[in-house]
A and B are shown apart, each in its own frame.
Chain A
């Protein structure tokens, strides 16, 4: 570490989070809980609800959640030790330019795409709640909600956490009360156990969808965990919220579609008289999740582009692009859940291996092959720090793992997510270790960090 970096881009996008800005594990827990308590989590459950019986779904959702808890928990530790955002951490396993490319795929575009789809979901929700007005038309609602959702992301992490504190606990309470009421009204546990799925899916596909829906979220855990008071705070907060709330909310969504036959839990709640006001608060939590997507996207773009464009500029740029995209989806696809499940499936095949490679580099390659035992000093950042331009081992591992995940996993009878995770982890260790032991240069070029952190 050399001299102290200047936070030129805002929210410590590419510099270390200072002590005075560190937050409690409860703040991180509540922020992630608010992220997962979005309609997408419940509708995500809706997307798998017709694909299996209750026992199969519970099993698949548990396995998916455990996978997410492990990936995000380990990456949360990396963020806690380094105090840096995900895309800065990627500078080591993928190289400086590699981190720009991976960060852009994972979050610059990935999280922005999530922003797009949740803005679209918001439009669907509003149009189903208040039909018949020009401003509640699905396209119009998508546009104005997209603009509103930019506001907290524009202000930054403090506003995002404040909003999470305000709506997170309430939304959890409402979700569980709403779910119990709906289930009771539509036949309860006997009807659930008697349910025969009309379109059965292999359990592997269901796991892939569950992991895929939150794949970007689990890989970008360091964005928030770097704010933790202690290094482990973020990891604990992440794993706890996944096991408690991701599991239960996805299952609520799945059970709702099984019992009510509606792919829209909001409509089911309306049907039993839960009131439009409850749905309005569903919408507020959608805001709470989506500002986080846009915020993550802006951090990735700062790492990739630098220059004069700050985090706030990127929030506006990505917000406008995402809103226009969402409006076009609204016009073309209407309220179909197919768009959402297809999107989750694609993410599930491309992104988890990025996390696996980062975990392999930080927790295995550097301590046990390079001998860097102290996790707090395993990665160094700050002005003057030298990175490779490209880490060939990391990039090659990701490409091969992605190809295996997309084209070979099915042939071997495994899931794309598991294939991506396992192959990414092993390939990186094999390629990097073999290159290191045989003296082959796998880190190409040199990039010196500037005073701004770029």
Chain B
């Protein structure tokens, strides 16, 4: 049980670290862009990084497998939801972003969704916690 608990903790750290790095990459695309683009990407990134930090704290704070599973699943849903914004927001002409930035952001959004889906399914398998928790 302890080994499984530790492996779930490792999964949480890995996936959340990947998501945090991806969101920083997305933020970097705002460099040299309009103020509106910088503000919107900064907002999305802040929410995602906050989600990963809160998830990491919740996972570290308990040794209970079910509670860890719950924290990972809820965190994954939140960053997946926010990552949808990377796909739909930058494309709007209002933000005035270049096609390359729009493409990178869309890619970051898609990869985050894939990482989130993996995290959800793996956590459900390892912990038995339902994904609609």
* Chain A interfacial positions (CB closer than 8 Å to B): 23-24, 26-27, 30, 157-159, 161-162, 165-170, 173-174, 177, 181, 272-275, 277-278, 280-281
Complex: A26 Cα to B71 Cα, angstroms? 11
Q: Which 9 A-B pairs have the closest CB atoms?
A: A275-B92, A165-B77, A273-B94, A169-B81, A161-B132, A277-B88, A158-B132, A273-B93, A170-B81
Q: For the complex formed, measure the closest distance between the CB of B79 and the CB atoms of chain A, giving whole angstroms.
A: 9
Interfacial chain B residues near A162, Cβ < 8 Å: 131-132
Complex: A129 Cα to B44 Cα, angstroms? 25
Let me know if A27 and B132 touch, CB within 8 A.
yes
Q: For the complex formed, measure the closest distance between the CB of A19 and the CB atoms of chain B, giving whole angstroms.
A: 13
Answer whether residue B38 sits at the interface, using C-beta atoms and an 8 A cutoff. no
Q: For the complex formed, measure the closest distance between the CB of A332 and the CB atoms of chain B, giving whole angstroms.
A: 33
B 5-37 contacts with A by CB, 8 A: 36
- CB within 8 A of A166: which of B43, B47, B77, B94? B77
Answer whether residue B91 sits at the interface, using C-beta atoms and an 8 A cutoff. yes
Q: Indicate the member of B47, B82, B87, B89 with the most A CB atoms within 10 Å.
A: B89
Complex: A177 Cα to B43 Cα, angstroms? 9
Let me know if B47 and A173 touch, CB within 8 A.
yes
Main secondary structure of the interface of A (DSSP, over half): helix
- CB within 8 A of A177: which of B40, B80, B91, B133? B40
18 A-B pairs with C-beta separation under 8 A? A24-B74, A30-B77, A159-B132, A165-B80, A166-B80, A166-B81, A167-B84, A169-B78, A169-B81, A170-B81, A170-B82, A173-B44, A177-B43, A275-B89, A277-B88, A278-B89, A280-B88, A281-B88
Let me know if B92 and A273 touch, CB within 8 A.
yes
Q: For the complex formed, measure the closest distance between the CB of A24 and the CB atoms of chain B, giving whole angstroms.
A: 6
Let me know if B81 and A167 touch, CB within 8 A.
yes
Interfacial chain A residues near B89, Cβ < 8 Å: 174, 177, 275, 277-278
Closest B residue, CB atoms, query A172: B81
Interfacial chain A residues near B77, Cβ < 8 Å: 30, 165-166, 169
B 33-88 contacts with A by CB, 8 A: 36, 40, 43-44, 47, 70, 74, 77-78, 80-82, 84-85, 87-88
Let me know if A169 and B82 touch, CB within 8 A.
yes
- CB within 8 A of B130: which of A158, A177, A280? A158
